[in-house]
């Protein structure tokens, strides 16, 4: 087992990474004995890996209630929040109860948000089961749900008590879900670590083959990069914005299609290409580096072409509502080279249009 610590002023915690973690003694430490637990998952995982976690918690002597959501980004909404809150009240959960989120980003974000508002805040633990959630969504305390007009527009910062990353759960994923997570992995490398990007170019096959040693290094490196950013900017005042490479464009795609048909990582993949293309148009990023990024995304079988059915003008209403914006002006995180990104304010709309058009015609 590998450990990454998220250092925060008021709520530091551990990320535990490894294979066969549920054979370790009390992996849930420092969970206090006697507390009630609500295990939250989705209908797919309910039949795949819930029993492993449930049996482990019961063996430790905890009282465990369960709540199962349908599977899909479209259920990450306020109606689902109300359903889980109602279940907590019906089962008489109090301020000492703990929510355990077993799932990908949807379950983690939704459960964390409910934990932040139930009786003004209770503890929760993340057990991410997708690569995307293991390297990104489960870490850092961003919780929330979607609105029809924008992704993650309703939420809060609420840090988990711990994050438990069991690598074996990745073997349950369909290929497109594994690839979706790799878009976030590649995002980290482009944004902060050229050496990591080069490692990915050389070792991508090992990750796709679910080689445990390669997965351990890859996931731990992403956790280290995010933990460092979050430790220095927990509530996204400045530095943490840099984690959003490709997301302004990508969230527009997700929102336009009402969170159906495009996985988060797939839309971020296209968003990364758009961000790199924007940077190239501005004379910041070299064409050679843009092509390296596109080549790596293609090797993951991730989309690099924008959806043809989405017109250029359709991007702007969503981009103008993006949480990173200042006073209505679009802010973009753009790479200036592989391993380094910067925040750019008020990019000319013609430049954005040109970048989108280029990516539509790839």
**Alpha-carbon distance values, 219 to 40, 116, 154 (Å):** 23, 26, 28
Q: Give me 286's structure tokens.
A: 């070299």
Backbone angles phi, psi at 65, to 5 degrees: -100, 160
pLDDT reported for residue 133: 98
pLDDT reported for residue 29: 83
**Cβ–Cβ under 8 Å, residues 297 and 304:** yes
**Cβ–Cβ under 8 Å, residues 73 and 260:** yes
Backbone angles phi, psi at 218, to 5 degrees: -60, -50
Q: What is the pLDDT along the chain (362 residues), one digit of tens a residue?
A: 999 999 999 899 999 999 999 999 889 987 877 789 999 999 999 999 999 999 999 999 999 999 999 999 999 999 999 999 999 999 999 999 999 999 999 999 999 999 999 999 999 999 999 999 999 999 999 999 999 888 899 999 999 999 999 999 999 999 999 999 999 999 999 999 999 999 999 999 999 999 999 999 999 999 999 999 999 999 998 899 999 999 999 999 999 999 999 999 999 999 999 999 999 999 999 999 999 999 999 999 999 999 999 999 999 999 998 888 776 789 999 999 999 999 999 899 999 999 999 999 98
Q: Quick: pLDDT tens for 208-221.
A: 999 999 999 999 99
pLDDT reported for residue 182: 98
Q: Quick: pLDDT tens for 263-302.
A: 999 999 999 999 999 999 999 999 999 999 999 999 999 9
pLDDT reported for residue 329: 83
Supply the pTM of this predicted model. 0.94
Report d(CA 195, CA 192) in Å as an integer: 9
Virtual torsion, Cα 331, 142, 27, 49, nearest 10 deg: -90
SS3 state at 153: strand
Kindly write down the DSSP assignment for every residue of 294-317, as one continuous string: HHHHHHTT---S--TTS-GGGHHH
Virtual torsion, Cα 184, 185, 189, 192, nearest 10 deg: 60
Cβ burial 77-97 (10 Å sphere, 16+ → b, else e) = beebbeebeebbeeeebeeeb
Which helix (H) or strand (E) segment holds residue 253: the answer is helix 247-256
Catalytic residues, which ones? 120, 142, 184, 226, 236, 240, 244, 247, 251, 264
Virtual torsion, Cα 175, 177, 178, 184, nearest 10 deg: 150
Cβ burial 36-48 (10 Å sphere, 16+ → b, else e) = bbbbbbbebbbee
Domains of the chain as residue ranges with CATH:
2-172 (3.40.50.1970), 175-360 (1.20.1090.10)
End-to-end CA distance of the chain: 42
**Cβ–Cβ under 8 Å, residues 338 and 272:** no
Kindly write down the DSSP assignment for every residue of 95-129, as one continuous string: TT-EEEEEESHHHHHHHHHHHHHGGG--EEEEEE-
At CA 180, angle to CA 77 and CA 257, rounded to 5? 45
**Residues 261, 266, 267, 270: is their CA dihedral positive or negative?**
negative
Which helix (H) or strand (E) segment holds residue 264: the answer is helix 264-281
**Cβ–Cβ under 8 Å, residues 334 and 282:** yes
């Amino acid at each position: 087992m590998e450990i990454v610590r998220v250092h925060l002023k008021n709520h530091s915690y551990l990320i535990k990474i490894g294979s066969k973690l549920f054979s370790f003694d009390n992996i849930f430490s420092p969970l206090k004995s006697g507390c009630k637990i609500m295990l939250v998952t989705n209908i797919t995982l309910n039949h795949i890996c819930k029993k492993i976690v449930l049996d482990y918690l019961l063996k430790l002597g905890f009282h465990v209630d369960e709540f199962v959501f349908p599977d899909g980004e479209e259920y990450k909404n306020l109606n689902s929040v109300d359903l889980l809150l109602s279940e907590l009240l019906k089962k008489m959960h109090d301020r000492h109860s703990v929510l355990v989120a077993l799932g990908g980003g949807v379950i983690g974000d939704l459960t964390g948000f409910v934990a932040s508002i139930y009786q003004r805040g209770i503890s929760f633990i993340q057990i991410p089961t997708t690569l995307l959630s293991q390297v990104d969504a489960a870490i850092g305390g961003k919780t929330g749900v979607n609105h029809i007009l924008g992704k993650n527009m309703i939420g809060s910062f609420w840090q988990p008590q711990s994050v438990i990353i069991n690598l074996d759960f990745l073997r349950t994923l369909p290929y497109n879900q594994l690839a979706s997570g790799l878009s976030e992995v590649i995002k980290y490398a482009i944004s902060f670590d050229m050496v990591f990007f080069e490692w990915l170019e050389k070792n991508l096959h090992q990750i796709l083959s679910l080689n445990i040693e390669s997965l351990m290094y890859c996931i731990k490196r992403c956790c280290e990069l995010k933990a460092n950013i979050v430790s220095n900017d927990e509530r996204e005042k400045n530095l943490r914005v840099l984690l959003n490479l490709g997301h302004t464009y990508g969230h527009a795609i997700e929102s336009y299609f009402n969170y159906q048909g495009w996985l988060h990582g797939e839309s971020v993949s296209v968003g990364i290409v758009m961000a790199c293309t924007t940077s190239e148009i501005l004379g910041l990023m070299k064409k050679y580096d843009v092509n390296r990024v596109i080549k790596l995304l293609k090797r993951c079988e991730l989309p690099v072409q924008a959806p043809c059915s989405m017109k250029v003008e359709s991007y702007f209403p969503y981009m103008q509502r993006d949480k990173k914006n200042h006073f209505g002006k679009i802010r973009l995180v753009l790479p200036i080279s592989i391993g380094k990104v910067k925040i750019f304010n008020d990019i000319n709309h013609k430049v954005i249009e040109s970048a989108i058009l280029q990516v539509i015609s790839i």
